[in-house]
Amino acid sequence: MHGNRERNPVTALKTGPETDRETSPADEEPADEKIDAFCHILPRACADRLFALDDVPALANLRRRVMDIPALVDLDVRFRQMDEFPGYRQLINLAAPPAEDFGTPRSAVHYVRMANDALADLTAGHPDRFAGFCAAVALTDVDAAVVELDRAVGELGAVGVQIYTHVQGHALDEHRFAPFWARAAELDVLVQVHPCRNATWPDYPAERRSRYEIWWTLGWEYDLSAFMARIVFGGILERHPSLKLLIHHGGSMIPHFSGRVGPGWDQLGSRTPPEQRADTEGPPLSKRPLDYFRMFYADTALFGAPHALRCALDFFGPERVLFASDSPYDPEKGPGYIRSSLADVHRMDLAPGERAAILAGNLRRLTKGRLTG
């Protein structure tokens, strides 16, 4: 141990006072099934490991972020929060930081094995709370990641896998990641995509660090959108059209800028001088770029912005949108984003069947009977 490290959430986290709030549509809805398709947890063994690593700079800001969120670690706190929402269960995944940031590739492989065992135990022990889990993998060692994905799905019962928008700054359309994409497609599992950057990613080339937490508020959305573009133009969806890629935060920027994504990328190369032609060349695509972007799935984790959800629904269609909250990272440290996400869904002009599909049916269809209950 080095210096004065942060408090360990296993022993230090306490439940804070309830936050005053107004009544929302989510408060009065019936006990219809609701499965949160993108929310986070930190099993106790993982929390211990996270707070033991004082010499990994990439973990510093995320340790600070999680250390005062009781529901990440304390199940009693988490379950009390969930009780507010009748019929509500969660598809859990491992809270950030990415496993790739845990020192050496060998250390990262050890961490994800421990994490997946813990996530499987939580799901098996609380099927009334957790409908399933998405496995963690460490893509610094692609072969080991494929082995762990097979183990998590085949032995532990994972219904999907969570990845991040890059691997230590490397884009996921690099050739070395091809075996992972092939195996994820073969296993036919849900692939949750989470953004990833920190304050060391500057806002402008002349600066050394991001200011005002722009790296999070706007940077994460750019990360998601750039990831989608590289998956499209890198030919990943061309080679594996059955991939089920769930993009966090409503599909990020793509629905809102579809006018640029569509006609703009129909003219790919027109803005690039001939000597930079290689920057626009990739594998041949059989469809318009816009058509590939519509092949992604999006969640409802938009934090009380119904206009943004409406845009995502218009772009992807109700059959490709899944209810999710990003809990427990709201100002209330748990229930706030669940409440606002449910309220947003209920504000939409949807047929009852469409609403039920978003709340749980689409996830059940994509996971093909692998959920508990």
> Residue 299 domain-assigned?
yes
Question: What pLDDT score was predicted for residue 124?
Answer: 98
State yes or no: pLDDT of 14 exceeds 50.
Answer: no
Confidence class for position 62, pLDDT limits 50, 70, 90: low
Range of the domain at 239: 27-367
Q: Which tens digit of pLDDT belongs to each residue from 237-280?
A: 999 999 999 999 999 999 999 999 999 999 999 999 999 999 99
State yes or no: pLDDT of 50 exceeds 80.
Answer: no
> Residue 14 domain-assigned?
no
Confidence class for position 344, pLDDT limits 50, 70, 90: very high
Question: What pLDDT score was predicted for residue 13?
Answer: 39
Question: What pLDDT score was predicted for residue 4?
Answer: 37
As a whole number of angstroms, the distance between CA 293 and CA 183 comes to 21
> Residue 70 domain-assigned?
yes
Q: Which tens digit of pLDDT belongs to each residue from 356-372?
A: 999 999 999 999 999 99
> Residue 311 domain-assigned?
yes
CA distances from 84 to 23, 232, 347 (A): 12, 40, 19
State yes or no: pLDDT of 160 exceeds 90.
Answer: yes
> Residue 274 domain-assigned?
yes
Question: What pLDDT score was predicted for residue 79?
Answer: 98
As a whole number of angstroms, the distance between CA 266 and CA 32 comes to 43
Question: What pLDDT score was predicted for residue 60?
Answer: 63
As a whole number of angstroms, the distance between CA 359 and CA 367 comes to 14
| Cβ atoms 12, 329 nearer than 8 A | no
Going by C-alpha positions, the residue among 98, 325, 134 that lies closest to residue 244 is: 134
| Cβ atoms 91, 133 nearer than 8 A | yes
Q: pLDDT over 90 for what percent of the chain?
A: 82
> Mean pLDDT in the chain?
90
CATH number at residue 52: 3.20.20.140
Question: What pLDDT score was predicted for residue 8?
Answer: 42
> Residue 8 domain-assigned?
no
Q: What are phi and psi of 56, to 5 degrees?
A: -115, 100
Domain count, the chain: 1
As a whole number of angstroms, the distance between CA 230 and CA 224 comes to 10
For CA atoms 116, 117, 123, 126, give the dihedral sign: negative
What value does the mean pLDDT take over residues 84-98? 96
Question: What pLDDT score was predicted for residue 1?
Answer: 36
What's the full length of the chain, in residues?
A: 373
Structure tokens at 29: 């809805």
Going by C-alpha positions, the residue among 154, 153, 155 that lies closest to residue 136 is: 153
State yes or no: pLDDT of 56 exceeds 80.
Answer: no
Question: What pLDDT score was predicted for residue 309?
Answer: 98
Question: What pLDDT score was predicted for residue 49?
Answer: 80
Question: What pLDDT score was predicted for residue 57?
Answer: 59
Confidence class for position 17, pLDDT limits 50, 70, 90: very low
What value does the mean pLDDT take over residues 69-97? 96
Q: What is the pTM of this model?
A: 0.91
Question: What pLDDT score was predicted for residue 18?
Answer: 38
Question: What pLDDT score was predicted for residue 325?
Answer: 98
> Residue 10 domain-assigned?
no
Q: pLDDT over 70 for what percent of the chain?
A: 88
Which of 98-102, 119-123, 219-223, 363-367 bottoms out in mean pLDDT, i.e. has the lowest?
98-102
Which of 15-29, 270-284, 303-317 bottoms out in mean pLDDT, i.e. has the lowest?
15-29
